[in-house]
Amino acid sequence: MSSNRITAYIGLGANLGHPLRQIENALWRLDNSAGIQVIAVSDFYRSKALLAPDAAPQPDYINAAALLKTSLPVRWLLQRLLFIEQKLGRTRGQRWAPRTLDLDLLLYGQQRYQLPNLTVPHAAIHKRAFVLYPLRDLAPNLVVPGLGSLQRLLRRCDRSEITVCRTEQGPLMHIDSPKII
């Protein structure tokens, strides 16, 4: 990778099929993509699905965040995320529909973008516990461009709908927070 590497954070989520396996596969594909290196992965969290009004119930999501170093321009990184989603069975349709995989570009350095198909920082980053708490695992002192410190955003966020995923053996994937890949 070139020396011009940007630190980026992505959100990962899934609630169909085998969500944990989907996220693991996405992380492997990201780490094996030219111009991308996965540096760390947060704990995995279980969260209730966001639902459209009058929508049928959905399975809970498994969510995580990953810290990347990338030499890819922001649009190319977005295209890589969309490609991986598609390869792992994601079909786009109704907003807030169940998903085999959702990869969101949360942050790209300290840069801000407002493009037709991309908003960075992610437009809803400040509202979602299932995004903020995994980010805290990776960078507790993070400052979100245009929104302020992660700690301030966390104080305003309801955590009642999320829990750290655990099995009898401990956290899923037997990871400590954060996992170095």
Domains for the chain: give ranges and CATH numbers.
Answer: 6-180 (3.30.70.560)
- 116 by DSSP, 3-state: which? coil
Known active-site residue 90: yes
* pLDDT value, residue 90: 64
Which residue, chain included where needed, has tokens 């899934």? 14
- Residue 179 pLDDT more than 90? no
- pTM value? 0.85
Query: Kindly report the CA angle at 81 between 136 and 55, in degrees rounded to 5?
Result: 75
- Residue 4 pLDDT more than 70? yes
- Work out the percent of the chain whose per-residue pLDDT is above 70: 82
Pairwise CA distance, residues 178 & 181, whole Å: 9
What average pLDDT score do residues 17-22 get?
Answer: 87
- Work out the percent of the chain whose per-residue pLDDT is above 90: 50
- Residue 173 pLDDT more than 60? no
Query: Kindly report the CA angle at 105 between 46 and 43, in degrees rounded to 5?
Result: 30
**97 φ/ψ sector (left φ>0, alpha ψ -120 to 50, else beta):** beta
Pairwise CA distance, residues 160 & 116, whole Å: 33
Which residue, chain included where needed, has tokens 């927070």? 177
User: Taking all residues of the chain, what is their mean pLDDT, rounded to a whole number?
Assistant: 83
Tokens representing 96? 């807030």
Known active-site residue 137: no
- Residue 161 pLDDT more than 70? yes
Cβ count within 10 A of residue 55? 14
- 101 by DSSP, 3-state: which? coil
What average pLDDT score do residues 99-126 get?
Answer: 88
Known active-site residue 43: no
* pLDDT value, residue 61: 87
Residue that wins the pLDDT comparison between 177 and 29: 29
- Residue 30 pLDDT more than 90? yes
* pLDDT value, residue 29: 92
Active-site option among 99, 128, 136, 137: 99
CB 120 within 8 A of CB 154: no
Active-site option among 43, 102, 128, 137: 102
- Residue 165 pLDDT more than 60? yes
Active-site option among 29, 80, 90, 136: 90
Which residue, chain included where needed, has tokens 């400590």? 176
Residue that wins the pLDDT comparison between 91 and 166: 91
